[in-house]
A and B are shown apart, each in its own frame.
Chain A
Amino acid sequence: MALLRLDGVRRHFGAHHVLTGVDLEVDEQQVMCLIGASGSGKSTLLRCINLLEPVDDGTIWLDGRDISDPRVNADEVRRQVGIVFQAYNLFPHMSVLRNVTLGPRRSMSVSRAAAEAKGLALLERFGLADKAHAYPDSLSGGQQQRVAVIRAMAMAPRLLLLDEITSALDPLLVVEVLEVIAELKRDGMTVVMATHEMDFARQIADRVVFLDGGAVAEAGPPEEVFTAPSDPRTARFLARYVNR
């Protein structure tokens, strides 16, 4: 059974229909890359899965449970679904370690000592142990984004959503963040990531989904989608990226 399944998910803001019926499935330990032009609904889709946006129709199933039901406790779902944003969104008034331990301590009532031990271990593993007591403003963009990923991972989520997390970084810093994602994949993390890094998507994705006009235009293994797209819109979109 798929860990995450979306059936006909729709979302609109007033007259603007951002998602017009998205269907997709993500299996456990799979990395899925969402590609598509800006405004194709990638971010909105991720925010809906994290329940930061309500859906206007359709159903989201997490591990066989309908989480789009308004009676579901959203806080409890979010503990299992981590999200990392394009603009890092670290808490500027907290040290790196407090950023990382806030979730476990407050929403899972983990003791301070246990949360810090785990947080430090994660920071250590991703080469940020020396920044544990630094404040986000003193870190580079790449470091901040890695902290944001660690902050989400500290909750030990079942599913991790990454919303164009390298788009605000310069090319050299992109590499260090992508390495973190590759490491998470080796650990068997289930990831859904919206990205414009086509080469990386091609290397790491188990499945690539091309969104167009708020719906899935094409989905399949990366070699298929990138080399022999069946939908002409996919081909046109990819051509723009290759000929950049």
Chain B
Amino acid sequence: MAPWQPSDTQRQRIAFRRRQSLRRGAVAAGSTVLVLAFLVVVTVRAPGWERVRSEYFDIGYGRTLLPDLARAFVLNVKLFLVAEVFILVVALSVAIIRVIPAPALAPIKLLAVVYTDVFRGTPTLLVILLICFGVPALQLQGMPTDIFWLGVIALTLSYGAYVAEVIRAGISSVHPSQWASSRSLGLTYSQTLRHVVLPQAIHRVMPPLLNDFVSLQKDTALVSTAGLVEILREAQVNSSRDFNFTPYVFAAVFFIVLTVPLARLADWLALRQLRREQGAS
């Protein structure tokens, strides 16, 4: 049998599709260049541009600050990484406590509900201020007085409530038939939760979970209000000493460089999940 050759009709279709996608690419590239050029021209021709350039985009000055900013930024990354672990532990525990039907847990369940309601409703900045200034004032034995750890506690309390709700939503999104078939194999409620429901729930909430962590990365800067010399505080100190806003712009770039990969990962996971679900149906 002769190998398959596309028919003339099919070849015309292929040629048409190729022309069409070339045209689309050209339109996209052209409009992007136009919009960018417009923005640049508007900015550069603005009456105050010269001043803005020297006060916000003084590259030479900014570069001299890079080592200090980078050193301070390590603290942000550390805050993020440490808080993330605690958040996952707190959120998972709270979510499980809220779904599990054990009468003995009733008081803890109530506590979990109050916790999520209170901390989801309070701005993170307020939580940080209250924890970082309020907890040391109690003068309790054994409580950390180090601002770094107080910051970790505040971020954990605030984000734990959000992430707990995300995980809880994931748990309730697993179809009841999965519960039924696991229980029918004689698995207990907690075995079903652990082996059947949670793995599927976590997989499903991965994209929103990563989004919360992107926003956590940025919110580490809020701990600066309590006096922690992380990158925002470092930029602020330099900015007020040298009467120049370039340190803020550089600090912003640090955050962007850190969050973009995580944001892309979240997008990619969400897309993959969408494809899988559409492919499976």
Residues of A within 8 A of B (CB): 47, 50, 52, 74-76, 78-79, 81-83, 85, 87, 89-93, 102-103, 106-108, 137, 148, 151-152, 155
When the two chains form their complex, are residues B200 and A93 in contact, meaning their CB atoms are under 8 A apart?
yes
Contact of A75 (CB < 8 Å), options: B177, B186, B199: B186
When the two chains form their complex, are residues A85 and B187 in contact, meaning their CB atoms are under 8 A apart?
no
Contact of A85 (CB < 8 Å), options: B180, B188, B191: B180
B206 to chain A, nearest CB (A): 13
Task: Knowing A93-B199, A107-B191, say if A137 contacts B280 (CB, 8 Å).
Answer: yes
B160 to chain A, nearest CB (A): 25
Bound: A74/B182 CA distance, A: 13
- Interface assignment of B215: CB less than 8 Å from any CB of chain A: no
Residue interface bits B158-185, CB-to-A below 8 A is 1, else 0: 0000000000000000000110111111
8 Å CB contacts to A: which residues of B183-228? Answer: 183-188, 191, 195-196, 199-200, 203
Total cross-chain contacts (CB, 8 A): 65
Inter-chain contacts of A79 with B (CB < 8 A): 185-186
Inter-chain contacts of B185 with A (CB < 8 A): 78-79, 82, 102-103, 106-107, 151-152, 155
Bound: A148/B185 CA distance, A: 11
- 10 further A-B contacts with Cβ under 8 Å, apart from A83-B181, A103-B185, are A50-B184, A75-B187, A76-B186, A81-B184, A85-B180, A87-B177, A91-B181, A102-B187, A107-B188, A148-B181
When the two chains form their complex, are residues B187 and A91 in contact, meaning their CB atoms are under 8 A apart?
no
Inter-chain contacts of A50 with B (CB < 8 A): 184
B172 to chain A, nearest CB (A): 17
Task: Knowing A106-B191, A106-B195, A137-B280, say if A91 contacts B186 (CB, 8 Å).
Answer: no
Inter-chain contacts of B177 with A (CB < 8 A): 85, 87, 89
Bound: A106/B182 CA distance, A: 10
B212 to chain A, nearest CB (A): 22
Contact of A78 (CB < 8 Å), options: B186, B200, B203: B186
Task: Knowing A78-B185, A102-B185, A151-B185, say if A91 contacts B178 (CB, 8 Å).
Answer: yes
